[in-house]
Structure 1
Amino acid sequence: MTNADTLPLLDVRGVCVDYPDRSRGRRATTRVLDDVSLTVRPGETVGLVGESGSGKSTLGRAVLGLAPLAAGGIRLGGRAISGLTGAARRRLAGELQVVFQDPQGSLNPAMSVRDIVLEPVIAAGTPRAEAERELRVLLDRVHLPADTADRYPGEFSGGQRQRIAIARALVRRPRLIVCDEIVSALDLSTQARILDLLVEIQDDTGVALLFTSHDLAVIRAISHRVAVLYRGRLLEFGDVRDVTASPADPYTRRLLMAAPVADPARQRERRAAYRAAFTDPAASPVTT
């Protein structure tokens, strides 16, 4: 094994992100990510989990260059990518892609699926005939029929639109895809099918995923490792089986108790334990 094989694909080190806070003054800021460090290995899925406001989507935006860093750095394939702009940022699109939470909002309703999926590679200079061949492969990869290409986003269900968004993310053959709450708006059965599809794609292509969700059950189903965030701080980061079986932080235990189970009796017990955790002063979610 070469040294390059042992390096992480994505290396996030000491990242801090501040957002403007107009309620405290014109130049005031609030720290929404505070000294967060994690890695993503080639072909691995790392889950980011936490409640709304935990900073998980902000971390994804920071990796994508959409949230400027106040401190720290981000490297992809050993190369610093934080702060890239212009042509350098556009070239990075061949290695780093994103699938957003709302496929209806992220897909242009006036464009056909063919144009939506192929626009990135045609803009990058791929001949049209070659791009068309790639389109057929991609639609098959995301389990959509060939006639999907000539239809428009409004003609599809939410799950189908998310498959189209995944195809678009894959067209440049990236090394890493940021998946930002991409199943949260879908019903449970559709969620399961999309998660199965991502696992299949990862097995076939070796693409790595940075996958954000507020649902620890979803994270457990797809991730190799998991990072637990709370109020911008990283509380735990490790193998998903270890973190979910023996969580070290009280907040992670609360997330586990909040996850629904099929047995009504167990669900009542978990709900009672969850409520008790929030009234127990010794169960503060902030570690020291």
Structure 2
Amino acid sequence: MTSADSAATDPAAPLLEVTDLDVIYPGGRGRSPFHALRTVSLDVRPGETVGLVGESGSGKTTLGRAVLGLAPVSGGSIRFDGQDISRLDRRGRRALAKDIQVVFQDPYSSLNPSMTIGDILTEPLTANGVAAGDAASRVGGLLERVHLPADAAARLPREFSGGQRQRIAIARALALSPRLIVADEAVSALDLSTQAKVLELFIEIQEATGVAYLFITHDLAVVRHVSHRVAVLYHGEIVEQGETAAVTGDPEHPYTQRLFMAAPVPDPDRQEQRRAERRRLLAIQAEQDAQAGAGLGAL
């Protein structure tokens, strides 16, 4: 039995396995190459949500893009269900689309404004060989899954709110019954009340279908709500990972602590204490970064 066969038959085996991943973007016009990810390793099991959290520029979106085949893999490997997908050609990526889908951040730009919702939802089906009639008949079920009325199929994206558009984007991702969805800041463009409803929808869909999520966000509160496990990225490296309760309740790394302290709380006194603690942690991190830079310069 091959390793891919073993992974496919073992329910405890990771569905997605990222090992020692490096992503280096080439430089140009006098600029040096940019090392976006360094020896990153994580895995996602079937039916599990792994939250990938970090500030802007930490590399979290680059990791999601690498999984989707949209960022160059310079070293290490990405395996899906035991198969190395690190460097698939275009044909291989098309074949993988039925198993790996994505929900992007912006519900306004991710939907074609000139297509009806019905056409948007049937497009991935027909592109993967489903007959047009069969594809059209599935639209009602997809809309029902994300709690939108069946008559939404005849309307255009501009007729919907941001939260409703993100539900449509989720329905499109579900069209091919994927096993993994990469959700890249999927609720960050929504107001807080809409965020909560869409997060509950993600959880409901997972419980009903068993789909796994790689949930990319800068918000520890979002990670705490939806994730089983958490990985924290800082400057292209994972600095902490583990069960959600442990990482968000008692973080060990100063950067994770800093992210936690950045989350607002309603009590003004506590908020000021958290700001003071965050400033202290920032000073510690700046000193550590300076020491690391000095060490590299000496090599």
Structure 1 and Structure 2 fold alike (TM over 0.5)? yes
Partner residue, 2:13: 7
Partner residue, 1:18: 24
Cα offset, 1:23, TM superposition: 6.1
1:232 to 2:239 alignment: no
Cα offset, 1:277, TM superposition: 2.1
**CA offset digits 1:107-158 (Å, max 9, x no partner):** 1101000010110111212122322232111101101111110011111111
> Which of 212, 217, 220 does residue 221 from structure 2 map onto?
217
Q: List aligned pairs for 1:95-106, cutoff 5 A.
A: 95-106=99-110
Q: Which runs of 4+ in 1 moved over 6 A?
A: 285-288
1:264 to 2:268 alignment: yes
Tell me, yes or no, if the aligned pair for 1:251 and 1:284 is still in contact at 8 Å: no
> Which of 52, 65, 86 does residue 48 from structure 1 map onto?
52
Tell me, yes or no, if the aligned pair for 1:32 and 1:231 is still in contact at 8 Å: yes
For 2:177, what is the secondary structure of its paired residue?
Answer: coil
Distance 2:206 2:228 in 1: 12
1:254 to 2:258 alignment: yes
> Which of 152, 155, 174 does residue 151 from structure 1 map onto?
155
Tell me, yes or no, if the aligned pair for 2:25 and 2:72 is still in contact at 8 Å: no
Partner residue, 1:90: 94
Change (3 A) 1:274 1:89: same
Cα offset, 1:282, TM superposition: 8.5
**CA offset digits 1:204-233 (Å, max 9, x no partner):** 000000011111111111100000000000
Partner residue, 1:109: 113
Structure 1 stretch 122-131 or stretch 162-171: which is displaced more?
122-131
For 1:134, what is the secondary structure of its paired residue?
Answer: helix
Cα offset, 1:177, TM superposition: 0.3
Determine what percentage of the aligned residue pairs are the same residue.
58
Distance 2:274 2:184 in 1: 28
Tell me, yes or no, if the aligned pair for 2:54 and 2:233 is still in contact at 8 Å: yes
For 1:103, what is the secondary structure of its paired residue?
Answer: coil
Cα offset, 1:281, TM superposition: 6.3
Tell me, yes or no, if the aligned pair for 1:277 and 1:283 is still in contact at 8 Å: no
Tell me, yes or no, if the aligned pair for 1:113 and 1:149 is still in contact at 8 Å: yes
Distance 1:282 1:115 in 2: 51
Cα offset, 1:9, TM superposition: 0.2
Cα offset, 1:31, TM superposition: 0.4
Q: Name the amino acid aligned to 1:204.
A: A
1:273 to 2:281 alignment: no
Partner residue, 2:211: 207
- Structure 2 unaligned residues grouped into runs of 5+: 1-6, 293-299
For 1:226, what is the secondary structure of its paired residue?
Answer: strand
Q: Name the amino acid aligned to 1:12.
A: V
Tell me, yes or no, if the aligned pair for 1:251 and 1:285 is still in contact at 8 Å: no
Change (3 A) 1:112 1:191: same
- Structure 1 unaligned residues grouped into runs of 5+: none
Cα offset, 1:46, TM superposition: 0.4
Partner residue, 2:40: 36
Count of aligned pairs: 286
Distance 1:36 1:155 in 2: 41
Partner residue, 1:178: 182
Distance 2:52 2:291 in 1: 18
> Which of 164, 168, 172 does residue 160 from structure 1 map onto?
164
Distance 1:281 1:17 in 2: 24
Tell me, yes or no, if the aligned pair for 2:254 and 2:285 is still in contact at 8 Å: no
Cα offset, 1:280, TM superposition: 4.0
Structure 1 length normalisation: TM-score? Answer: 0.94
Tell me, yes or no, if the aligned pair for 1:96 and 1:174 is still in contact at 8 Å: yes
Q: Name the amino acid aligned to 1:103.
A: P
Tell me, yes or no, if the aligned pair for 1:250 and 1:285 is still in contact at 8 Å: no
